[in-house]
Amino acid sequence: MSQPQVIYEKGELLYEGKAKRLYKVVGHDDLIWQEFKDSLTAFNAQKKGSFEDKGAINREICGILYTSLEKAGVPTHRVALQSVNAEVTRRLSMVKLELVVRNVLAGSTAKKFAIEEGRALSRPLVEFYYKDDALADPFVSDDQAIMIGAAQSQVELNELKQFALRVNEVLCAVMVRAGLRLIDFKIEVGRDSQGRLVLGDEISPDTCRLWDEKSGEKLDKDRFRRDLGGVREAYMDVLQRLKQTQVG
């Protein structure tokens, strides 16, 4: 994504989420102005916090990752950077599922099966969660996803899984270069006007688990969820490492 060629004007607020504010773009119904906020939430927003420049740090991390994904042929919603914490993106018809990919067991799935965190999986696991804040985004099976209308068919679910696995391949390669292990992550996807799947939302330490490859130190939102301290330092560390992978 290059610096803006076209001048875009921020329109009225469409929606304020936990980590972003979405605005209209004046004169462009097909675009959205997305601002990354400094707030941090966990456990379906029951736990709240924030830190200075968090929006800008996450926007920059996401920018580096989306550039790598675009280079690898994964389409993303980005159109033009507007400021340190804002960008114009394509308006997509969002799939009502969160796609989670796991390389190593941690978090909710480790807990569900009473397996200690850190067990590497022989192949990546893809899971679907139904996007509904009131229901706290429940896990859904493939058949449940179709029953609830979040997907039309098993063919569509398979397409979503393949997309998520491709994102995983690219991200794993980037993280290895940064000395990080990609434990798991969540993505949100939508369809453009041609029906093509496009990566939306963000990928950042808010939405990934990242462990230092040598020490195993957690460098993601678990520092906030689990009161481990050093949240801003961890996010900055991830950003610096990713920036270094871009040099040379």
**CA neighbours closer than 13 Å in the CB half-sphere of residue 48:** 8
Q: Considering the complex, what minimum distance in angstroms separates the CB of residue 139 from ligand UDP?
A: 8
Residue 220 C-beta: closest distance to ligand UDP, Å: 7
Measured CA to CA, the distance from residue 54 to residue 182 in angstroms comes to 20
Which of residues 53 and 137 has its CB atom nearest to ligand UDP in the complex?
137
Cβ 26 to ligand UDP, closest distance in Å? 31
CB of 134 vs ligand UDP, minimal distance in Å: 14
Q: Compute the least distance from the CB of residue 207 to ligand UDP, in Å.
A: 4
Alpha helices in 104-230 (DSSP H): 107-112, 142-147, 154-177, 222-225
Please report, as ranges, the residues that interact with ligand UDP according to CB under 6 A: 100, 107-109, 137, 184-186, 207-209, 221
Q: Which residues have CB under 8 Å from 185's CB, separation 6+?
A: 100, 101, 168, 171, 203, 207, 208, 209
Strand order in the sheet with 10-16: 10-16, 20-25, 28-36, 86-90, 78-83
Nearer to ligand UDP, 88 or 203 (CB): 203
Question: For ligand UDP, which is the closer residue by CB, 87 or 184?
Answer: 184
Q: What's the closest the beta carbon of residue 186 comes to ligand UDP, in angstroms?
A: 3
Q: Which is nearer to ligand UDP, 196 or 226 (CB)?
A: 226
Residues 99/239, Cβ–Cβ less than 8 Å: no
C-beta nearest to ligand UDP: residue: 107
Q: Which is nearer to ligand UDP, 28 or 172 (CB)?
A: 172
Please state, in angstroms and as integers, the Cα–Cα distance from residue 163 to each residue in 34, 159, 209, 233, following that order. Answer: 23, 6, 19, 31
For residue 143, give Cα distances in angstroms to 149, 150, 155, 234.
Answer: 10, 10, 12, 38
Closer CB to ligand UDP, residue 8 or residue 128? 128
Report in angstroms how near the CB of residue 208 gets to ligand UDP at its nearest: 5
CA gap 205, 220 in Å, rounded: 4
Element of type H or E holding 187: strand 180-191
C-alpha–C-alpha distance, residues 146 and 30, integer Å: 28
* Closer by beta carbon to ligand UDP, 60 or else 202: 202
